[in-house]
Amino acid sequence: MNFTAIDFETATGYHPCSVGIVTVQNGIIVDEFVTLIKPPNNEYNPFTIRVHGIYPKDTVNSKSFLQVYPEIEKRLKNRVVVAHNESFDRNVLMKSMLLYGLNYEDLNIAAKWECTVKIYKAKGLKPTKLSDCCREMKIQLNHHEALSDAKACAKLYLLR
């Protein structure tokens, strides 16, 4: 069981302010990566701050998406990618790459990723928010912290 789980937290729209990535080899987490990301102009929507608790002061000296991208690329390239509500995280990645002139196809990953929301919905779990799935499956979660969310997603995928 080899895959990479990813979670983005966003500042506004699709502009990330944090990313968590977990690499799984043979069913075991072998790499964890998390970093804050300075969104364009370090702008935030007050709603997103309430969700994840990341403020402009936290990212004022952080690297931009373009500067963080090499770390993201080396963890995603040629991998099966998993996310909870994959369309959200995939769109954050695709739109951020487009903003900086990076080619999504160069990652050589699926057009649609594996999605733990869809997997657990198909199993009959309702609701399927990450916190609900983790509670049901007895997975520890510090919700809306990117690395914790990515780890929880990886564990959900392993238990599917």
DSSP code string of 102-137 = --GGGG---SS-EEHHHHHHHTT-SS--HHHHHHHH
SS3 35: strand
Do the strands 15-25 and 114-115 form a parallel or antiparallel pair, or are they unpaired? unpaired
SS3 68: helix
Convert the pLDDT of each residue in 80-130 to its tens digit: 999 999 999 999 999 999 999 999 999 999 999 999 999 999 999 999 999
Convert the pLDDT of each residue in 46-73 to its tens digit: 999 999 999 999 999 999 999 999 999 9
Its pTM stands at 0.97
- What are the chain's domains? 3-159 (3.30.420.10)
Beta-carbon contacts of residue 23 (< 8 Å; ≥ 6 apart): 4, 29, 30, 31, 32, 75, 79
Residue 64, exposed/middle/buried by CB under 10 A (0-12, 13-18, 19+)? middle
DSSP H/E element including 81: strand 81-83
Q: What is the mean pLDDT of the chain?
A: 97
